[in-house]
A and B are shown apart, each in its own frame.
Chain A
């Protein structure tokens, strides 16, 4: 069983479209995250979310919005996709407080054409 799973693995879409990426964790963690890895391989936090608060990185455009139907899922919705959104998006989860077992998914490679 994959601990943190993301779908789809690859996503190719046109500029202006709206798309979603799904993430599920079966580790029983209480906090989930979205990260963006750009073409230079730099990983940067976008959002972190637990049942108490959503923390948004101030540099993230408001076209990006996380949606959490329950503790085990955190989906990423992107409106009006732009060429610069092309990147690999990683979901992660951890236990708040200790950050022990901070685990990443295998990534979603998004290409906007």
Chain B
């Protein structure tokens, strides 16, 4: 079992819909949880950063972490065609040991 599991999609939704992206993880030592957006041929761009469990909201984006079930979610409200990209969840224990990524979900927002 991979440490961070993520459905690669593609996930296609109409413009304006609420998008729900999810990951599960297996390592109980993970404390830091992030969501990155990656456009084609670009570097990953940090969207949301969460330490431990809880919710975090930033504009149209909401990140949720449930450590009891090892479940990570990203919600996008009022989705736009410009949100079409690959969304990567990532987790880390901390220190300098790097992020463990899911495989990424390819999201398509249809105009």
Contact = CB atoms under 8 A, between A and B. Distances in A.
Contacts of B38: 41
Contact of A102 (B46, B51, B86, B97): B46
A96 B92 CA distance: 12
Nearest to B2: A42
Chain A: interface size category: 20 to 34
A113 interface: no
Contacts of A55: 96-98
Q: Interface centre among B92, B98, B99, B104, by most A CB within 10 Å?
A: B98
Contacts of A41: 38, 86, 103-104
A44 interface: yes
Given A41-B38, A107-B41, A107-B43, 4 more contacts: A53-B96, A57-B98, A90-B44, A97-B95
